[in-house]
Amino acid sequence: MRRVLVLLTLIALSAPAQAVQLIRTDGFKLPHGRTLTNETWVLAQDISFGGTAKDDFFAACAGGPGGVGNVRLAGTFENDIWAFGNTIIFSGVTKEHARFLANEVTMDGTVGLGALAAGNAVTLTTNSTIQGDAALAGQSVVIAGKVRGNLKVLATSATISGTIEGNIRIMADDIVVMPGTIIEGNLTYTSSKDLFLDPAHVRLDGQLIRTEVAAARQPSGYEVFLTQAYYYLCALVAGLPFIALFPRFTGRAVRHFRQSSWRCALIGVIAFCLIPMAALFLLLTIVGIPLGFLLLLSYAIMGYLAKIVVALGVGGALLRRHGPQPFSRVFTSLSIGLISIYAMAVLPYGIGMLVAFLVVVLGLGAIVLAIFTSHSALETAPPLPPPVPAVPPSSSGSYNSKEETPKKE
């Protein structure tokens, strides 16, 4: 297993690198008239862009001594633009998509295809134009510009005062449609308050549609039973081939779980938090994108197989079985363990969620320990001495030459 991980790492690192420019500095500034020809990633405390980007542009604003910096984008972007930071001010032109994530997002420029923005406060000024569809999410969302496609808004407070040439879908507690607003499609909204439009001041070419949030229906006991039975069968179908293909690895993981549960819990929590962070870092390095996806895939597989390891350990403990077992007994232990886990997973008052989390953490820790430990490392008990061969009796009454000679009377 360790050789496989090393091989995957070498494959990912040996992949041909694309023409990517990675810039990491305290402050980044590209003045008007300067051009970036390659795909560019910028990580800085403060970013100011006024030039031209021929390829995709990624901007991430990290925290500095004075706090988290700002991202100011006033240039021309011929491909997609991605930006992350505390404050993003976009006043340039992008010919394709724009994707922004920040505490405050202000869009004052032109987006060629579509826009996605999320933050505490998201604002489309009167100078902003989005040629395609847009999706905006935030605590406060203000749309005063022009959207030439469909618009989706998810917010606590939403204010519309611009022009929407497509349909608009809003989910918000407070919705305000200002006089002079033009909506050429339908306005569909979900809110606890009724929305009234003044036909004399608001132009709505489509229909005003209100949708209610569907109340969460409590499933019946029969539905819960069928759902858990389905999960049980899926786990059984996935677990049995895994055990048959990797019996020694599964045995090591189960022994780790049964012999040192606290250690498994500690390693599992670390792996639960660290592996996604490592995968995200690899995805951001471009060259490590294949390895990042493989790491995420391995993380998902190990997270699912965690319940198999814990189920085998729980089932074996309930049936008081130790050591290697024939496959028929393994099937019984796995079945008993899975039934116990899924039965506890439906307990109320958050107990079921806690049980599910513990199962993932414990099983994940046991799998990680099994990957990085050998089979001999688990042999905690000293080996038994070899049996002494029986000595055949002699007619003269003497012992074998290797045995102790009896004393004469």
Strands, DSSP E only, in 45-124?
A: 46-49, 52-53, 57-61, 63-64, 67-68, 70-73, 76-77, 81-90, 93-94, 97-107, 110-111, 114-124
pLDDT tens digits, residue range 162-181?
A: 999 999 999 999 999 999 99
Residues 6+ apart with CB under 8 A from 274: none
Residue 196: band (very low, low, confident or very high) from pLDDT cuts 50, 70, 90: confident
Structure confidence at residue 375 as a pLDDT band (50, 70, 90) = low
100-114 average pLDDT score: 92
Which stretch of DSSP H or E encloses residue 135?
Answer: strand 134-143
Q: How confident is the model at residue 130 (pLDDT cuts 50, 70, 90)?
A: very high
Cα torsion through 273, 274, 275, 280, rounded to 10: 100
- 100 vs 57: CA distance, rounded Å: 12
Does the pLDDT at position 126 exceed 60?
A: yes
> Rg (Cα) of the chain, in Å, rounded?
32
Dihedral sign, Cα of residue 5, residue 8, residue 14, residue 20: negative
Buried b (16+ CB within 10 A) or exposed e, 75-95: bbbbebbbbbbbbbbbbbbbe
Please give the structure tokens belonging to residue 273.
């938090």
For residue 59, CA distances in Å to 118, 120, 243, 324, 364 come to 15, 19, 46, 55, 34
Mean pLDDT computed over 116-142: 94
Q: Three-state DSSP class for 344?
A: helix
- CA 296 and chain centroid, separation: 8
Residue 211 has pLDDT above 80, yes or no: yes
Least confidently predicted of 7-21, 246-260, 340-354: 7-21
Is the pLDDT score of 79 beyond 50?
A: yes
**Helix/strand/coil for 66:** coil
| Chain centroid to CA 292 | 12
**Paired strand residues for 205:** none
Q: Is 381 helix (H, G, I), strand (E, B) or coil?
A: coil
Rounded CA separation 82/219 (Å): 42
The pLDDT-based confidence of 261 (bands split at 50, 70, 90) is confident
Residue 379 has pLDDT above 60, yes or no: no
Euclidean distance between CA atoms 326 and 317, whole angstroms? 16
**pLDDT at residue 354 is higher than 80:** yes
Q: Count other Cβ atoms within 10 Å, centred on residue 287.
A: 17
Helix, strand or coil for residue 278?
Answer: helix
Q: Distance between CA atoms of 239 and 395, rounded to whole angstroms?
A: 61
Interaxial angle between packed helices 351-371 and 327-344, expressed in degrees from 0 to 180 and rounded to the nearest 10:
140
Mean predicted confidence (pLDDT) in 221-226: 84
Residue 256 CA to residue 268 CA, distance in Å, equals: 12
Alpha helices in 247-394 (DSSP H): 247-259, 261-284, 289-318, 327-344, 351-371
Q: What does the pLDDT read at residue 11?
A: 39
